[in-house]
Copies of this chain bind each other. A is one copy, B any other.
C-alpha cells in the first residue's frame, strides 16, 4: 500500500487564481470593466483586519477592484446597514461580504440579510442555501469553503457520484453546504454533528470524509477506510512552545495517522485554507461577468 497523496491546496488555489486573472483581463479588454468586491469590517479585531487585508491583496493580484468600508467598533446597526446598502446600489461592486464576527450590539442576521442576493459572494443567503438544497435549482453563489473542498476533490480526480461521503459538522458556512454540494454531485451523504453516536463507525464507511467540526485531530487513523479521500477543513490553534507564536495550527484530522491509511488527504495549513479566498475571487468574477454582460445587453436593447 502506498502512502496518501497529499493534496496541495496552495498549488490548486494558485492555478485557480491564474484562471481568474486571465478572465478578468478578458473582461477588461472586451468591456473596459472589471469585477469589484466590497468588504465591510466593523471594529479593530486584529485577526479580522488581517483577513480583510489578505482579501484586498488577493483581489489586487487578479485585477479585481477592491472596495471597503472600515467602520469603528462603535458603529450603529444603521450605519453598518447603510454601508451595505451603498454597495448594493454601486454598479461597480459585484460582490459584498461582511467580515464576521460583528460586534455584539449588531444584529448579524439583519446585516447579512441586507446584502443583495445577487452580490452575496459568500453564498450565505438563505435563498442561495435553499437553491443549493433543491433539485433543479442552482444558487447564484455557494459558500466558498465547501466549494473549495469540492474543487480539491474534482481537480484531484476523486470520484464523487455514487460514493459514500461523511461530513463531520453541519454549520451554515461549512458542514451543511458541503453536504448539499456532495448530494448535488450524487454522493450518498451522511451528516454528523455533536449529537452523533458512534461516529467512528460511520466515518469508517466513507469514501470521502469532510471534517469541519472545529475539534483538533478528532478524526483518527483507525476511523478511516483504506484509500478514502480526506478533506480537512479544521484550523485549530494548539499550544506549541517550539513556535515563535507559541502555537501552531492543526486540522480536525490527525494528519500523521490518517495519511498512512487514506488515499488522499489535505494538510493543515496548505490544504483547504488557500482555496477559500480563491473561490471568493471566483464567485466575484462570476458575479462581475453576470452584471457586466447584462449591462451591455440592456444598453444594446435600449438603443
Contact = CB atoms under 8 A, between A and B. Distances in A.
A30 interface: no
Interface in A169-194: 170-172, 176, 180, 183, 186, 188-193
Interface of A: 109, 125-137, 161-162, 170-172, 176, 180, 183, 186, 188-193, 195-197, 202
A186 B180 contact: no
Copies in the complex: 2
Contacts of A127: 126-127, 130
A131 to B, nearest CB: 5
B189 A191 contact: yes
Interface centre among A126, A197, A202 (most CB of B within 10 A): A126
A135 B176 CA distance: 9
A170 B180 CA distance: 11
B196 A136 contact: no
Contacts of A190: 188-190
Contact of A172 (B132, B136, B172, B183): B136
A134 B129 CA distance: 8
A190 to B, nearest CB: 4
17 contacts: A109-B136, A126-B126, A126-B127, A126-B131, A127-B130, A128-B130, A129-B134, A130-B132, A133-B133, A134-B172, A134-B176, A135-B171, A135-B176, A162-B196, A170-B183, A188-B196, A190-B190
Contacts of A183: 170, 191, 193
